Amino acid sequence: MDLDFTPADDAFRAEVRDWLATHVPDVPLPSLETAEGFAAHREWERTLSADRWSVVSWPEEYGGRGVPLLHWLIFEEEYYAAGAPGRVSQNGISLLAPTLLEHGSAQQCARILPPMASGEVIWAQAWSEPEAGSDLASLTSTAVRAEGGWRISGQKTWSSRAAFADRAFGLFRSDPGADRPHRGLTYLMFPLDAEGVTVRPIGRLDGKPAFAELFLDEVFVPDEDVIGEPHQGWRVAMSTAGDERGLTLRSPGRFTAAAERLTALWRQHADPADSALRDRVADAVIGARAYQLFAYAGVSALAAGVDTGGRASGASSSLNKIFWSELDIALHEAALDVLGPLGELSDGAPDAPDGGAWAEGYTFSLAGPVYAGTNEIQRDIVAERLLGLPKGRR
């Protein structure tokens, strides 16, 4: 057992760090949940991808570097430590791409992944519906067979990034006669500017249009935009949902970097005699380190082909999700408390500390325990699949 990096690991880290040092914008980009910020972040994706840094763990043919997962973790540590911009392509990269690589055809991968890597096409997810949230399998949007494809109708909602994104992916009921709710669903991709699509942006808690409602009226989707077999969408989607909950959506690097910044903020501003606040800062540092080590252990187990503690079952991604989402909030709450009376200034306020990064980060963190499967559902999954407790009513 060791935590040692090889010279090759160190060289990779140094290369990432050098590139970031010369390319990360000096002035933070505007929030990616605004039209102006979305465009600026898309441009940043282009910059990343021009030097093959946007999707390092992907195969080279799709714009990646084919590096092992450990190097992706290293990349993420350096990326967030450098204060680089948020990733506007995150949902496509960490949710759709793993699904395509596992279930998609070679033709689909070749057509869809390179423009995703370059930021040319930015993806939104279209899972939830007004009456289907945690109980996703109860969804009622339909896909009806048509010449050469499908026509999709219905309403999707809480669709992250959909206000400004180019395309979306989601599940649709293709076989209304199936005997169980999660059977007879098909996984489809569609353009958000297609005929029959209406996008109504929804303001998140601070009013920024971070997600949208999608109204779909007989939107045509060609067969080539079905992922996996028709009616098998649930199985395909669950692998994506696992990725979302797990490591790839929120890497440990985000939290180790944020914990470093919190510690610096605390040293600079806090009253050292306030031990209650000190304890919470310490807990954020400990939590970030724990998540980093948990990920190193997971990556090591994967590389060694060992399943420790049900990691391969996917249920451990639920542990991950609960952990990072609650750590994120606790960390930002501690930061706001360190800032005292300045903590309430929103990210748009001229006097907001650190350019409003803490305020923006706090607002962003509040959604964590809700999206990607609420933490209540995740705790059910942990209890049932990792502890073997009986299923009960939700």
Partner 1 sequence: MRFLLDPETRDFARSLDGMLGAAGTEGAVRAWAAGDHGPGRALWARLSDSGVFGLAVPERYQGLGPLPVELTVAFEVLGRHAVPGPVVETVAAAALLGRHAEASGADPVGGGLLAEIASGKRSASLQLAAQGPYALDADAADAVLVVEGDTLRIAAGWGPVQPSADPARRLAAPQVGTVLAQGPEVTAAAAHAADVAALMTAAQALGVGRKLLAGTVEHVKQRAQFGVQVGSFQAVKHRLADTLLGLEFAAPLVHAAALALAGCSPDAGREVAAAKVAAGEAAYRASRTALQLHGALGYTDELGLSLWIRKARPLRDAWGTPAACRARVLSAAGTEATA
By CB under 8 A, residue 294 contacts partner 1? yes
Contact of 243 with 193, CB cutoff 8 Å: no
**CA–CA dist 187, 191 (Å, integer):** 14
Element (H, E) at 297: helix 275-304
Residue (168 or 262) nearer to partner 1, CB = 262
Provide the residue type at 214 as one letter.
L
Pattern 55-84, partner 1, x by CB under 8 A: ---------------x--------------
Cβ contacts of 93 within 8 Å, gap of 6 or more: 54, 55, 87, 116, 117, 248
| 76, burial (CB in 10 Å: exposed 0-12, middle 13-18, buried 19+) | buried
Q: How far is the CB of 74 from partner 1 (least distance, A)?
A: 10
Among 266, 358, 362, 364, binds partner 1 (CB under 8 A): 266
Cβ contacts of 207 within 8 Å, gap of 6 or more: none
Q: Which residue reads 């809700």 in tokens?
A: 370
Q: How far is the CB of 375 from partner 1 (least distance, A)?
A: 9
Question: Site residues for partner 1, window 235-264 (CB under 8 A)?
Answer: 263
Alpha-carbon torsion (29, 35, 41, 46), positive or negative = negative
By CB under 8 A, residue 388 contacts partner 1? yes
By CB under 8 A, residue 345 contacts partner 1? no
Indicate which residue of 147, 244, 260, 360 is catalytic.
Answer: 244
Active site residue 229: no
Among 7, 177, 193, 391, binds partner 1 (CB under 8 A): 391
By CB under 8 A, residue 334 contacts partner 1? no
Contact of 375 with 326, CB cutoff 8 Å: yes
Residues that bind partner 1 (CB under 8 A): 1-6, 9, 70, 263, 266, 275, 278-279, 281-283, 285-287, 289-291, 293-294, 296-297, 299-301, 303-304, 306, 308-309, 316, 319, 322-323, 376, 378-380, 382-384, 386-394
What amino acid positions are annotated as catalytic residues?
244
